[in-house]
Amino acid sequence: MPRLATYVGLVDHAEQVLAESLRTVAEAQAKHPDIHFMCETLAKMSDAHREELAPVVERYGEDDASEPERLHAAGLGEARTGPLGLLRDLQDLHVLAHLVLSSWTVIRQGAQGLRDRELLEVAEASAAETRRQIAWLQTRMKVAAPQALIVSP
Amino acid sequence: MDRIADIWGAPTPHARGTVWPVRVDQHLHEGVAEADVEQWVQSACLLCSNGCGVDIAVKDGRMVGVRGRAGDVVNHGRLGPKGLYGSTPWASAPDRLTRPLVRDGDRLVETDWETAMGRVVQESKRLLDKAGPLTHAFYTSGQLFLEEYFALATIGKAGLGTPHMDGNTRLCTATAAAAMKESFGADGQPGSYTDIEHCDAIFLYGHNMAETQTVLWSRVLDRTRGDDPPRVVCVDPRRTPVAREAERTGGVHLAPKVGTNLALVNCLAREVFANGWVDEEWVAAHTLGREELWETVSSYDPERVAGICGVDADDLRRAARIFGESGAVLSTVLQGFYQSHQATASSVAVNNLHLLRGMIGRPGCGILQMNGQPTAQNNRECGADGDLPGFRNWDNPKHIDELARLWNVDPLTIPHWAPPTHAMEIFDHAEAGSIEWLWVSATNPAVSMPESGRIRRILAQESLFVVVQDLFLTETAQLADVVLPAAGWGEKTGTFTNVNRTVHLSEDAVRPPGEARSDLEIFLMYARAMGFTDKDGAPLAAWETPEEVFDAWREASRGRPVDYSGLTYAMLRGGSGIPWPVNESAPHGTDRLYADAQFPSDTEVCETYGHDLLTGAEVTEEEHRAMAPGGRAFLKGAEYSAPHEEPSDEYPLLYTTGRTAYQFHTRTKTGRARSLQKAAPAAWVELSVDDARQLGVAEGDVVRVESPRGSIEVPARVGEVMPGAVFAPFHYGSWEPEQGATAGAGPGQANELTMAVWDPVSKQPYFKTAACRVTKVRDGAGPSPAPTTTASRPAADAGTAGRRSVPQTAGGDATSSTLVDDPPRFPLDPAQDGDH
């Protein structure tokens, strides 16, 4: 199952990148308490997914992707500034979260094929929460967009 | 009778299922006898959300007192201390604003209306040309009339087309609305005050009703002191009069740590499931989400929750048993939940309990998601806050088309890409410079908003043009570019609606002073000057009288859950207030919603598709449709999470703010009423006996209370707040009688310390979860000014910390109370069903 192990490594890494990027935005947006606190809350969700996944990673072995530079997503690095910067940051997080979600979808398919109940449950529960992360990012972007695009100084 | 000393007045206990007796309370200004009163003018009280029917006494063109309306369904003649003493003196105060003011450098100078409105309009047009309507924002109130909100909503949404409009209702009532939308599909109070007469248990969640709605509390006391009384369960970190009544009636007082409400209510739900108290048949027929709710709450067993909340596990069990085994429970919820951590989720959790037991829609089985302010309800209905008129869903294009037809404008004019901007976000945009024009009406954000120091800096910003419309030169008005003098209650005509949907007409009794004009006139003056038109070029908001606006509103509400279509000014004159819906199927109004267990949850009907209660993420139309709610209510749960700011070594105590029975908001009216101002003249903080002892603080000593955002210096009351918590009343800004207000903070301004954080769903700021530290500044010269008759009473066991003897709060002017033996008929009262 080397390829599934690769994907388990991939989702683990993607969740880590998402959590780090959420924390980067949280830190940069201390002046926007809703974004600050919610990004922290969402980052904790990703942490928890990784914890749930840890026993599976142990079972399959930590087969790090053989071509990490082509499979792994880059994180946010540093947060942008200003209303437009915030909008772009939220969009980047949205893209990252979608990578996480589609990775869980792929893993779920593999887990079904292998009848691996533990992995199946982790994949389904994590994907459900990833959808919550995406829904919040979507909601927040919709609210922020007009002001940022039209009148922000 | 001194109603400062006796807040609730003479008791009139009665048995379960009988009509609440009638007692007419009256107060006239000193030197005015009843025979001197030339005219009594019909109105309703505007000094809390209860909405008591009242008549205004008029003599020589002045308001000189009030009396309760005997036949009103809300109060059966009674009035509370604020209503009695505070309703009228402000109107003839010497510092009323009588002329418009405009800024000239660092001064505000008197001018005429043409000049003042000219500046507002000129700036408005300049900004519209420069960058469009998103530069404009409105911050209004919970104290205007229905007609004024609907006019404002029309101007903002159909005239200018800005999404930036909210009210201070965001601070007081946004969570009530949000919780009902999440559970039932739309706003609208399920219960009625008449549920008090029929219940056998009353649960009050974060609701110190004894002080916030004193007349409603006297209605409760008349049950708890009568035959076959209900048991009271109180959830409150302070030992309030409600908490004491809970103990007296064999109920329970649960005092959870500040910020842990959701864990507590999840535990009650868990017990209802675990003990088989769920009405499974009803739940299956009328709700969605039972299994998911059980999954969420199943781990909240009493032992675990006792640890989270700092309460006794057996007390949790006892409270749950009272809920689970009572035949009829009334639940009420207020700021202890709405202004605290996980506000919407906790308030929804209360709705869940009622849905699980099918206790909704019949006498005694009510939910009252309360409001803080007298007309907050109308702001939610008419859409001058974060809502759209008629409980319409911004995310439903058909609802927007309906509004566009009503106003005869292009649907694209009405901003509906997201919910209207909430208050905290409006100030955020102003701070960032993208909102450059802000019109504040009938509210005082420089004192009442969280982190008030920041709010004042924003209001003072050069980049922000601020219009303030008020009765007085408030702390906020001091920072304005234009100040518009408004007519107040009794000086204008309009309607407003209380917590349990009861609509009252309030007639003008006297002329406003000087050049002051009604808020409605002022808004319409702006609309005319701006030349707003509909898509056929006809003037928009071309109303002349309040009744014309009301009739337009009736059409806007037709067919919606908040249906006023069958209600007229004529029906409201002379009799009692009337609860909506009033339409063809309910021509005389509706005492209680959901008697048929049909909820406004259908995708085409609902006010919102709902939210993730933890994150505030929106549920999409497709997701909502897939659930096929079809008139069923939602059972929605959420996990408890720790509050945003927890005590630390540096800030070891929890800081929480609240109200006292004798003052309202920032004291604009109550501070000008001698009896009330004397009862609670200045700010204080409450410390527990333990904390006071540890800090070396005795009753009346002056302490400094600091949070990461600011500090206050005030005398300490060694009182009955729970150990580890500090309570501060939020009424006190820089305004003092005779001296007026300044543009700075008052020494005891509670919001200097609060945090700008808010609930993810309702966007209501959390005034009750911050950390602070307390240090003693100096010995006190006497006891603190905190009242002794309320939750701020001195601790019984204060020991040396309470060594100063504290005089009892008393000294209110004379009032009268008359029992009416032959009471009028109360329309819709189920206790009178026999002769209906």
Would you mind telling me the total number of residues written for chain A in this entry?
Answer: 153
Whether residues A150 and B616 touch (CB distance < 8 A) is answered with no
Query: Residue B198 above 60 pLDDT?
Result: yes
Query: Residue A66 above 70 pLDDT?
Result: no
At B494-510, the pLDDT tens digits run 999 999 999 999 999 99
Q: Buried b / exposed e across B650-670, counting CB within 10 Å, b at 16+? A: ebebbbbbbbbbbbbbbbbbb
Q: What is the mean pLDDT of residues B758-764?
A: 97
* Residue A44: other Cβ atoms inside 10 A: 14
The predicted structure's pLDDT at residue B835: 43
Q: State CA B749 to chain mean position distance.
A: 20
Query: Residue A1 above 80 pLDDT?
Result: no
- Mean pLDDT is lowest, of A69-83, B75-89, B115-129, B242-256, for A69-83
The predicted structure's pLDDT at residue A7: 87
Strands B165-167, B136-140: pairing is parallel
| Chain B residue numbers touching A41 (CB-CB < 8 A) | 614-615, 641
Query: Where are the alpha helices (H) located in B558-681, listed in sequence order?
Result: 569-572, 621-627, 674-679
Q: Does domain B174-370 have CATH number 3.40.228.10?
A: yes
Query: Residue B820 above 50 pLDDT?
Result: yes
The domain limits of chain B are 22-92+815-835, 101-173+375-579, 174-370, 653-802
> Cα torsion for B479, B482, B487, B489, to the nearest 10°?
-30
| Chain A residue numbers touching B434 (CB-CB < 8 A) | 83, 147, 151-153
Measured between CA atoms, the residue of chain B closest to residue A147 is B134
Measured between CA atoms, the residue of chain B closest to residue A32 is B428
Helix/strand/coil for B428: helix
Whether residues A152 and B614 touch (CB distance < 8 A) is answered with no
Give, as one character, the DSSP assignment of residue B736. Answer: B
Helix, strand counts (H, E) of chain B? 26, 28
At B428-474, the pLDDT tens digits run 999 999 999 999 999 999 999 999 999 999 999 999 999 999 999 99
Cα distances (angstroms) measured from residue B338 to each of B254, B411, B654, B786, B789: 17, 33, 17, 24, 25
Residues 143-182 of B with CB under 8 A from A: 163
In this complex, the residue of B434, B612, B757 whose CB is nearest that of residue A135 is B612
Q: For the range B523-530, what are the long-range contacts, defined as Cβ-Cβ under 8 Å and sequence gap of 24 or more?
A: B523/B148, B523/B151, B523/B152, B523/B155, B524/B151, B525/B113, B525/B117, B526/B117, B526/B120, B526/B121, B526/B124, B526/B155, B527/B151, B527/B154, B527/B155, B527/B159, B529/B117, B529/B118, B529/B121, B530/B121, B530/B124, B530/B125, B530/B159, B530/B160
Confidence of residue B570 (pLDDT cuts 50, 70, 90): very high
Whether residues A146 and B163 touch (CB distance < 8 A) is answered with yes
Strands B465-470, B482-485: pairing is parallel
Confidence of residue A62 (pLDDT cuts 50, 70, 90): low
Assign domain B101-173+375-579 one CATH number from 3.40.50.740, 3.90.1580.10, 1.20.1050.10, 3.40.640.10. 3.40.50.740
Whether residues A147 and B433 touch (CB distance < 8 A) is answered with no
- Token pair for B202: 């009353």
Query: Residue B644 above 50 pLDDT?
Result: yes
Q: Name the interface residues of A facing B (CB cutoff 8 Å).
A: 32-34, 37-38, 41-42, 83, 132-133, 135-136, 138-139, 142-143, 145-147, 150-153
The predicted structure's pLDDT at residue B798: 77
The average confidence (pLDDT) of chain A is 91
Residue in this structure with the two tokens 């905190």, named with its chain if needed = B786
Query: Residue A63 above 70 pLDDT?
Result: no
At B347-398, the pLDDT tens digits run 999 999 999 999 999 999 999 999 989 999 999 999 999 899 999 999 999 9
For helices B519-530 and B146-153, angle between their N-to-C axes, nearest 10 degrees: 20
The predicted structure's pLDDT at residue B667: 96
* CA proximity to B452, closest of B765, B135, B97, B164: B765
Helix/strand/coil for B622: helix
Q: Which fold has domain A2-150?
A: Ferritin (1.20.1260)
The predicted structure's pLDDT at residue A64: 58
Residues 608-667 of B with CB under 8 A from A: 612, 614-619, 641, 644
The predicted structure's pLDDT at residue B123: 98
Instruction: Tell me the C-alpha distance between B70 and B77, whole Å.
Output: 4
Backbone torsions φ then ψ of B770, nearest 5 degrees: -140, 160
User: Please, what sign has the CA dihedral across residues B235, B237, B239, B242?
Assistant: negative
Residue in this structure with the two tokens 């088309």, named with its chain if needed = B401
| Chain A residue numbers touching B132 (CB-CB < 8 A) | 150-151
Instruction: Tell me the C-alpha distance between B631 and B681, whole Å.
Output: 50
| Chain B residue numbers touching A142 (CB-CB < 8 A) | 417-418
Backbone torsions φ then ψ of A90, nearest 5 degrees: -60, -35
At B239-259, the pLDDT tens digits run 999 999 999 999 999 999 999
| Chain B residue numbers touching A153 (CB-CB < 8 A) | 432-434
Query: Where are the alpha helices (H) located in B502-586, listed in sequence order?
Result: 519-530, 546-557, 569-572
Whether residues B132 and A151 touch (CB distance < 8 A) is answered with yes
- Token pair for A65: 């992707």
Query: Where are the alpha helices (H) located in B225-331, listed in sequence order?
Result: 241-248, 261-274, 280-286, 290-297, 302-309, 313-325
How far away is chain B from the Cα of A73, in angstroms, using its nearest Cα? 25
For residues B360 and B597, is the Cβ–Cβ distance under 8 A? yes
Query: Residue B323 above 80 pLDDT?
Result: yes
Query: Residue B828 above 80 pLDDT?
Result: yes
Q: Which fold has domain B653-802?
A: Barwin-like endoglucanases (2.40.40)
Whether residues B615 and A132 touch (CB distance < 8 A) is answered with yes
Instruction: Tell me the C-alpha distance between B619 and B630, whole Å.
Output: 16
Q: How far from each other are the two terminal CA atoms of chain A, in whole angstroms?
A: 54
List the single best residue of B166, B615, B624 to mutate versus A (max A Cβ within 10 A): B615
Q: What is the mean pLDDT of residues B645-652?
A: 92
Residue in this structure with the two tokens 């994180």, named with its chain if needed = A75
Cα distances (angstroms) measured from residue A137 to each of A86, B477, B618, B637: 11, 38, 10, 21
Q: Which helix (H) or strand (E) holds B515?
A: none
Query: Residue A67 above 70 pLDDT?
Result: no
With 0-12 / 13-18 / 19 or more C-beta atoms within 10 angstroms meaning exposed / middle / buried, residue B628 is: exposed
Q: Tell whether B457 is within 8 A of chain A (Cβ).
A: no
Q: Buried b / exposed e across B206-224, counting CB within 10 Å, b at 16+? A: bbbbbbbbbbbbbbbbbbb
Whether residues B758 and A41 touch (CB distance < 8 A) is answered with no
Query: Residue B562 above 90 pLDDT?
Result: yes
Express the helix, strand and coil content of chain A in percent, nearest 5 each. Answer: 80, 0, 20
Whether residues B434 and A151 touch (CB distance < 8 A) is answered with yes
Helix/strand/coil for B239: coil
Instruction: Tell me the C-alpha distance between A89 and A137, whole Å.
Output: 10
Whether residues A152 and B641 touch (CB distance < 8 A) is answered with no
Question: What residues contact B457, with CB distance under 8 A and at least 6 apart?
Answer: none
Instruction: Tell me the C-alpha distance between B291 and B303, whole Å.
Output: 23
The predicted structure's pLDDT at residue A91: 96
Q: Tell whether B418 is within 8 A of chain A (Cβ).
A: yes
For residues B695 and B775, is the Cβ–Cβ distance under 8 A? yes
* Percent with pLDDT over 70 in chain B: 99
* Residue B416: other Cβ atoms inside 10 A: 22
Measured between CA atoms, the residue of chain B closest to residue A83 is B432
Instruction: Tell me the C-alpha distance between B91 and B88, whole Å.
Output: 6
What's the CATH superfamily of B22-92+815-835? ADC-like domains (2.20.25.90)
At B663-679, the pLDDT tens digits run 999 999 999 999 999 99
For helices B261-274 and B343-356, angle between their N-to-C axes, nearest 10 degrees: 20
Backbone torsions φ then ψ of B489, nearest 5 degrees: -55, 135
The predicted structure's pLDDT at residue A125: 97
For residues B185 and B599, is the Cβ–Cβ distance under 8 A? yes
Give me the amino acid identity at B667.
R
Instruction: Tell me the C-alpha distance between A104 and B542, whole Å.
Output: 58
Instruction: Tell me the C-alpha distance between B277 and B77, whole Å.
Output: 39
Helix/strand/coil for A49: helix
Instruction: Tell me the C-alpha distance between B380 and B335, whole Å.
Output: 17
Helix/strand/coil for B226: coil
Query: Residue B230 above 70 pLDDT?
Result: yes
In this complex, the residue of B131, B614, B644 whose CB is nearest that of residue A151 is B131
> Cα torsion for B750, B751, B753, B757, to the nearest 10°?
140
Ramachandran sector of residue B389 (left: φ over 0; alpha: ψ -120 to 50; beta: rest): beta
Question: What residues contact B470, with CB distance under 8 A and at least 6 apart?
Answer: B97, B440, B441, B442, B444, B476, B477, B483, B484, B485, B486, B668
List the single best residue of A35, A93, A147, A149 to mutate versus B (max B Cβ within 10 A): A147
Query: Residue B836 above 50 pLDDT?
Result: no
Whether residues A37 and B644 touch (CB distance < 8 A) is answered with yes
For residues A15 and A93, is the Cβ–Cβ distance under 8 A? no
For Cα atoms B667, B673, B677, give the angle at the middle one, nearest 5 degrees: 65
The predicted structure's pLDDT at residue B113: 98
Residue in this structure with the two tokens 């949404």, named with its chain if needed = B157
Instruction: Tell me the C-alpha distance between B80 and B444, whole Å.
Output: 24
With 0-12 / 13-18 / 19 or more C-beta atoms within 10 angstroms meaning exposed / middle / buried, residue B382 is: buried
The domain limits of chain A are 2-150
* Percent with pLDDT over 90 in chain B: 96
Instruction: Tell me the C-alpha distance between B465 and B487, whole Å.
Output: 23
Give me the amino acid identity at B444.
N
- Token pair for A51: 């914890």
Measured between CA atoms, the residue of chain B closest to residue A142 is B418
